[in-house]
Amino acid sequence: AREGAGRAPGAALPGGPAMDLFGDLRRMNKRQLYYQVLNFAMIVSSALMIWKGLIVITGSESPIVVVLSGSMEPAFHRGDLLFLTNFHDDPIRAGEIVVFKVEGRDIPIVHRVIKVHEKENGNIKFLTKGDNNEVDDRGLYKEGQNWLEKKDVVGRARGFLPYVGMVTIIMNDYPKFKYALLAVMGAYVLLKRES
């Protein structure tokens, strides 16, 4: 009897999807494989170019950030995606929502400016607070620091998309999910056939 006789059309061979993936890779000739690897590299470099372009256009080192905590509720919720600008000519005003970095903390903080103190020489210092917090942010600043300065600002919130950033939070909370997703995307790009 022939091998595979009696198997329903379209039935999977023993070994499952992983064996199909390796089988597809083996069937590709070197030229096809190089083409797919270059395709993947082009996608990655295009994404990096878009990101760098956004940095130049917005003036912010991080033009898009995800809200990681509930300290700004009800204005922003955990998982909201914020769009930032950081034009240094624009004065900082009370009531404005800023993203800032403080020395000793890796992750920027999204909070509202509650007080602005302008010195006679034109230097501006300001104080922030989360809308959902009881006290101002002096406890979050580096030791001995009571005010923020413009150099601490990463950007100012100009718009947002609700909950779109939950994917980022899930990937940070579950690193295995992140690597699995990247592996699936890489395999898709490498094995995608041109039609």
In a domain, 20, yes or no: no
In a domain, 13, yes or no: no
Task: Name the band, by pLDDT with cuts 50, 70 and 90, for residue 7.
Answer: very low
What are φ and ψ of residue 3, in 5° steps? -70, 135
In a domain, 34, yes or no: yes
| Same domain flag for 46 and 70 | no
Task: Name the band, by pLDDT with cuts 50, 70 and 90, for residue 1.
Answer: very low
CATH number at residue 125: 2.10.109.10
In a domain, 193, yes or no: no
Q: List, for residues 61-83, the tens digit of each pLDDT value.
A: 999 999 999 999 999 999 999 99
Say how far residue 167 (Cα) sits from the centre of its chain: 9
Q: How many structural domains are present in the chain? A: 2
| Same domain flag for 49 and 74 | no
| Same domain flag for 32 and 94 | no
In a domain, 40, yes or no: yes
pTM as predicted = 0.71
In a domain, 99, yes or no: yes
Between CA 64 and CA 74 the distance in angstroms is 20
Q: Which residues are catalytic?
A: 71, 111, 137
Comparing 28-32, 49-53, 92-96, 134-138, the range with the smallest average pLDDT is 28-32
Mean pLDDT calculated for residue range 24-40: 75
Strand ranges (DSSP E) for the chain?
64-66, 81-85, 97-100, 109-118, 124-129, 148-149, 153-161
Checking if the pLDDT of 120 tops 60, the result is yes
| Same domain flag for 46 and 102 | no
Residue span of the structural domain in which 30 resides: 26-58
Question: Strand 148-149 relative to strand 81-85: parallel, antiparallel, unpaired?
Answer: unpaired
3-class state of residue 65 by DSSP: strand
